Chains A and B, each alone.
Chain A
Amino acid sequence: MAQLQLRDVRKSYGSVNVIKGVDLEIRDGEFMVFVGPSGCGKSTLLRLIAGLEDITSGDLLFDGVRVNDLAPSKRGIAMVFQSYALYPHMKVYDNMAFGMKLAKAGPDEIRKRVEKAAKMLAIDHLLDRLPKQLSGGQRQRVAIGRAIVRDPKVFLFDEPLSNLDAALRVATRLEIAKLHHEMQNVTMVYVTHDQVEAMTLADRICVLRDGLVMQVGTPTELYERPNSLFVAGFIGSPQMNFVNGQIAKGFNAHTIGIRSEHIVVDNDSPTWRGEVVHAENLGSDNFLFVDIGSEEPVLVRQEGKTAIPWGATIGIRPLSENMHRFDEKGVPIR
């Protein structure tokens, strides 16, 4: 059980400010995902929570107690690293037991906890192997197992899937989601640059940019009601269409944003007409790139299999209730 509070947390290396004042509350048992482009400070923020870096100013509270100066091992956290960070010379069992051995736990207790964690992750048949005898996915499961054995109040993940190939990434993502479901009272903080991971795993997402929090909310909130042009562009795949200039002026906005699934092909009463300059068929959907005179062609998701040839001129209509309008500063007009 742990509730985390960050109060005006700042971190600077010399004169370089990496985290520029973050106020954030992470609820008890919540799965919070930090997401943002590289260099936004999301990993640094996680390392500040872990205690691997010192907080320059501000307060970090676990359940209302200030832990700024507490050693990482005393904070009740466990961490999973991007590169697994297993101890190469120890067998899987010893890797998982290392923390408890250092804490001078009894051998029976250690064995019980390690075996329970190993069973949970289906790695109980690998306990006698060395890390180098494991595949990437198995290694990351061992790293997660090592974290579980510590019985943490707060579980920290630093881009745990980035080193895995696409298929394993999806499988391990499910594994982590399952873990969150089974460990209801453990607060999880997860860092990723992949917004799909963020959308699928998170209870709430915290979007960061240049060391500042842009928006915090549930995946649906962020997807449907982004509070800035940046969040609108960052969340969602494929990326939201942005249209500037004269076309946007027609909607009383500097920029309008519309997601590809919110545009329909409508040759009878079109809002815009344009040429199909490129099309991608993904099997379930067709993605059409339609040139309507904006800087970038507009991406339209067309369900079904009606093939529209390249070069055809078609009419499209945005669903106005799903349109986002932004002013010059990228602030939404509502």
Chain B
Amino acid sequence: MNAVKTGAFYLAVVVIVVVAVFPFYYAIVTSLKTGTALFEVNYWPREFNFQNYVSVMQQGAFPRNILNSILVATLTVGFALFLGVTASYALARVRFRGRTLLLLTILGVSMFPQIAVLAGLFELIRFLGIFNTPWALVLSYTIFTLPFTVWVLTTFMRDLPVEIEEAAIVDGATPWQIIFKVFMPLMWPALVTTGLLAFIGAWNEFLFALTFTSSNTTRTVPVAIALLSGATQYETPWGIIMAASVIVTVPLIILVLIFQRKIVAGLTAGGVKG
């Protein structure tokens, strides 16, 4: 009976892993094919041809697009975490009128679909004169990431022991020093989680990137990949598209692998009696 249970458990695990990983696996396999082999269904790689990777890097401004993506995503994470941490300190620890209302409004902002705010955001970006620059994307991504970041960090900050803050106040720390010298080091798990999600969101975003940039050199990778074209307008260059997709996914996987080690609970252990 026990063996059956264990077997069923691992069968379920295998099914889930296969379903989750198969599309990415197939992209890798496809990216290694050339010519007509692209249109044959093979589940195992038959050849290892890196021609697609070479051509995608020589294709137009693709390396530049990758740099754009890195820049935009990094800045977005930076702004989102800075504003998120400071805002969540106020929302979690400063008593003021309308705090709950403000929190609910922040949550409400995140409920609008992107397309609903696209036109308004476009006007704002034109008004600020940052159309077709990375700043347009940084601004719009930060707006969309912040509600989530603020909510998660506020919840996390509320759970930090009040006595630690009071001890810091008695020690003469200003609110600024409390946030950055006392709370920030305790919030790594929350910061890593929200930061990672903000990065992934900014890295994969398509609609804003398509709308707020117009030249090849300012585009980010998702748009650049979508706009990759073959020799004729009737040909979709699947090999190159797959190679490009693999290239842009690998950094995310590396990031997650690095930071998942940092997502450890219990950082506050020992500070106060649990």
Contact = CB atoms under 8 A, between A and B. Distances in A.
A236 interface: no
Nearest to A164: B273
Contacts of B166: 52, 79, 81, 85
Interface in A130-169: 130-134, 136, 139, 146, 150, 163
Contact of A102 (B171, B267, B268): B171
A98 B171 contact: yes
A134 B167 CA distance: 19
Nearest to B177: A102
Interface in A79-114: 79, 81-89, 98-99, 102-103
A37 interface: no
A78 B172 CA distance: 10
A86 B273 CA distance: 10
B167 A85 contact: yes
A88 B168 CA distance: 12
Contact of A79 (B170, B185, B269): B170
B111 interface: no
A134 B90 CA distance: 32
A50 interface: yes
Given A85-B163, A88-B186, A89-B186, A73 B170 contact: yes
A233 interface: no
Interface residues of B, number: 23
Interface string A19-31: 0000000000000
Contacts, number: 89
A185 B205 CA distance: 65
B273 A163 contact: yes
A330 interface: no
Given A83-B273, A85-B272, A130-B270, A102 B173 contact: yes
B170 A131 contact: no
Interface string A116-134: 0000000000000011111
A55 B181 CA distance: 29
A87 B182 contact: yes
A72 interface: yes
B85 to A, nearest CB: 15
B271 interface: yes
Contacts of A258: none
Interface residues of A, number: 32
B161 interface: yes
B159 to A, nearest CB: 13
Nearest to B172: A73
B166 to A, nearest CB: 5
A81 B171 contact: no
A40 interface: no
B18 interface: no
Q: Which of A77, A85, A136 has the most CB of B within 10 A?
A: A85
Contacts of A132: 269-271
A87 B268 CA distance: 8
Contact of B272 (A84, A99, A130): A84
B70 to A, nearest CB: 30
B169 interface: yes
A267 to B, nearest CB: 51
A85 B161 contact: yes
Interface in B241-273: 267-273
Interface of A: 50, 52, 71-74, 77-79, 81-89, 98-99, 102-103, 130-134, 136, 139, 146, 150, 163
Nearest 9 CB-CB pairs, A to B? Answer: A132-B270, A73-B172, A88-B271, A131-B270, A85-B163, A99-B171, A83-B272, A89-B185, A85-B167
19 contacts: A72-B169, A72-B172, A73-B173, A74-B172, A79-B166, A79-B170, A81-B163, A81-B167, A82-B163, A83-B163, A85-B163, A87-B164, A88-B267, A88-B268, A98-B171, A98-B181, A103-B172, A133-B270, A146-B171
